[in-house]
């Protein structure tokens, strides 16, 4: 059975470095990469039916945009390096989603960047990376 590494990405510089690190590590280990983009999304809102319809439409547009602008180029880069990769876009709490996907894919390692695209916000409200480290049942590599 080959190894599986889960890498969480966004459009930040740290994320690009994490992806490069994950790609090299997977290639050396003969591992598969599961590349994941998580759109922060809370299920707890109180909306009218019209607002829910707009919210669903916006959610679908965000998934399409993430697949086209972030995940697609990342997968192309990885596959051109000769690494087996799968891409996933999900909505939810980033740390919870990454931890759940690691369990679902029986990942041996989670790789993330130190600071994501929400940089300043994470300094004020807590870091996705620190929460992931606390929740994870598998090792987490944080790339600066």
pLDDT confidence tier of residue 114, bands split at 50, 70 and 90: confident
All domains of the chain in start order, with CATH: 4-143 (3.40.50.620)
> Does residue 119 surpass a pLDDT of 50?
no
Integer CA distances (angstroms), 36 to 89, 91, 93, 95, 99, in order: 6, 11, 13, 11, 11
- pTM value? 0.84
pLDDT in tens, 14-60: 899 999 999 999 999 999 999 999 988 766 666 677 777 777 788 88
């Amino acid at each position: 059975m080959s190894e599986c590494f889960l890498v969480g990405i966004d459009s930040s510089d740290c994320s690009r470095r994490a992806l490069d690190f994950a790609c090299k590590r997977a290639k050396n280990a003969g591992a598969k990469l599961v590349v994941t983009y998580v759109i922060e999304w809370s299920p707890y809102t109180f909306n009218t039916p019209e607002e829910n319809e707009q919210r669903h439409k916006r959610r679908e547009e965000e998934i399409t945009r993430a697949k086209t602008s972030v995940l697609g180029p990342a997968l192309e880069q990885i596959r051109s390096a000769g690494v087996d990769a799968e891409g996933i876009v999900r909505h939810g709490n980033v740390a919870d989603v990454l931890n759940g996907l690691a369990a679902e894919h029986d990942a041996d390692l989670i790789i993330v960047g130190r600071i994501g695209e929400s940089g300043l916000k994470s300094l004020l409200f807590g870091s996705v990376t620190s929460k992931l480290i606390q929740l994870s049942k598998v090792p987490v590599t944080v790339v600066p």
